[in-house]
Amino acid sequence: MTHKLRIGIAGLGTVGASVFQLIERQNNRLALRTGRQLQVTAVAARDKTRDRGIDVSAVAWFDDPVALAQSDQIDVFVELMGGDEGPARLAVEAAIRAGKTVVTANKALLAKHGMALAALAQQHKTSLFFEAAVAGGIPVIKTLREAMAGNSISRISGILNGTCNYILSRMELEGLTYQACLSDAQRLGYAEADPTFDVGGFDTAHKLALLSSLAFGTEIDADAIYVEGIDAIDPLDLKMAEELGYRIKLLGVAERTATGIEQRVHPTMVDRTKPLAQVMGVTNAVTLSGDAVGDLTLVGAGAGGMATASSVMSDLADVARGARVETFALPLEALEAAPRAPMQRHEGGYYVRLSVLDRPGAVASIATRMAERNISLESIVQRKPADHDKGAVSVPVVLITYATSEEGIRAALDAVFSDGHIAEKPQLIRIERN
């Protein structure tokens, strides 16, 4: 058996401590599978006295992660600190310059600096692995980079944030408001005190940027992603979705279109018979569409210490076997600038909920505005609220459109609003029929 693979871990939070535990627990089996012993020889964290449930007394301690990254006591640097700047970026760059292999779970760092880090790794003839950066324990990076190498990928769609899926699941199943579910998610530790990064769709967007690069052989273009969060979803939308045969999910979608590569994150009506619609709670799922394999859906734990650590261990096993990978599957010079597909060009069906003033001709006028922009309506559903007889001045009306353009539906809704027939901003949710 060859010499041990010496591992340095920067960041001993939930994931870092779990990686430490897994290496100790699975070491004999890993050695048999990879032909090499794995050993944590050094760590870096902010507080040496904190009880993390692991014994680090036998390993070297570094207060400075950059010093750990440069240390001759390690062969591979595992970055689990998080953040797209500061210590994480400096330490990863230092490790690459020192010729170390890097394993990271940091999607924010890669979404922002992935191309520069890939170039640095290529220059110093080392590798940057990041299986744990997307979808927790689901091996979607390896699937795209290796298992589907013989496929031309046309589309990715996925539930990539467990916090959002948990909130939407509870809202649907229990009829709770968004705010009530968010408060519960924060109490249970599924959401941060400031939940904007998750519920605003930005976490999903970072992950989608990485998947798009791997799937389409393009440079990372996180700025091209259209992003909407879930904070505007109302319990009525979830109830109507159920009646119409859909379920609302926050999806990250990337696909090749006639106008370029479309990347978008937003609440979506998903057909209840589709695999993604069945995924509830904090679970993640990704559907990959390839020309050879068809649709392949991967489902599993999208977060949590051990689930994410499992993906880190997958990368470490590859490193132990001596695997060398191109960061984004292709040599850097082979990656193309992604042709952007403007969101206004997006075409599909739409769910539109309007608070229509209760007066003669209002609904007919709305239908006329839709027709003026060649928008065909599949159905119109009108619901009188329970308090209608107590003086309610508006009623909810739901429109389901056939395929039309984003530009067209928004222009029609602007006209409807200008006509004065609706009492508040329309609710617009895209429908995925694939």
Structure-block tokens of residue 352:
């539109």
CA angle 255, 256, 257 (to 5 degrees): 110
Tell me: do 168 and 286 sit in the same domain: yes
Tell me: do 43 and 153 sit in the same domain: no
Tell me: do 268 and 201 sit in the same domain: yes
| Farthest CA pair distance, the chain | 83
Tell me: do 168 and 108 sit in the same domain: no
Domain count, the chain: 3
Q: In this predicted model, what pLDDT tens digit does every residue of 94-115 receive, in sequence order? A: 999 999 999 999 999 999 999 9
Tell me: do 365 and 389 sit in the same domain: yes
Tell me: do 151 and 273 sit in the same domain: yes
CB 312 within 8 Å of CB 30 = no
Q: In this predicted model, what pLDDT tens digit does every residue of 233-288 receive, in sequence order? A: 999 999 999 999 999 999 999 999 888 999 999 999 999 999 999 999 999 999 99
Of the candidates 52, 49, 44, 55, the one whose C-alpha atom is nearest the C-alpha of residue 7 is 44
Give Cβ neighbours of residue 177 (< 8 Å, ≥ 6 apart). Answer: 171, 235
Q: Is residue 434 classed as helix, strand or coil in its secondary structure? A: coil
Question: Is residue 26 one of the residues assigned to a domain?
Answer: yes
Structure-block tokens of residue 11:
């960041």
- Please give the positions annotated as active site: 207
Looking up residue 383, the CATH number of its domain turns out to be 3.30.70.260
Tell me: do 363 and 402 sit in the same domain: yes
- Domain closes at, from 247, 266, 301: 301
Helix axes 107-123, 86-97, angle to 10 degrees: 20
Q: In this predicted model, what pLDDT tens digit does every residue of 22-73 receive, in sequence order? A: 999 998 999 999 999 999 999 999 988 888 899 898 999 999 999 999 999 9
Tell me: do 231 and 361 sit in the same domain: no
Q: Sorting pLDDT into bands at 50, 70 and 90, what band is 389?
A: low
Tell me: do 233 and 89 sit in the same domain: no
Give Cβ neighbours of residue 140 (< 8 Å, ≥ 6 apart). Answer: 134, 158, 211, 286, 288, 298
Q: Is residue 276 classed as helix, strand or coil in its secondary structure? A: helix
Tell me: do 122 and 180 sit in the same domain: no
User: How many angstroms separate the CA atoms of 217 and 153, rounded?
Assistant: 10
C-alpha dihedral, 27 to 28 to 31 to 36, nearest 10°: 70
Looking up residue 287, the CATH number of its domain turns out to be 3.30.360.10
Q: Which pTM does this prediction carry?
A: 0.93
- Domain closes at, from 106, 133, 160: 133
Question: Is residue 322 one of the residues assigned to a domain?
Answer: no
Question: Is residue 278 one of the residues assigned to a domain?
Answer: yes
Give Cβ neighbours of residue 391 (< 8 Å, ≥ 6 apart). Answer: none
Tell me: do 196 and 119 sit in the same domain: no
User: Range of 289's domain?
Assistant: 145-301
CB 148 within 8 Å of CB 427 = no
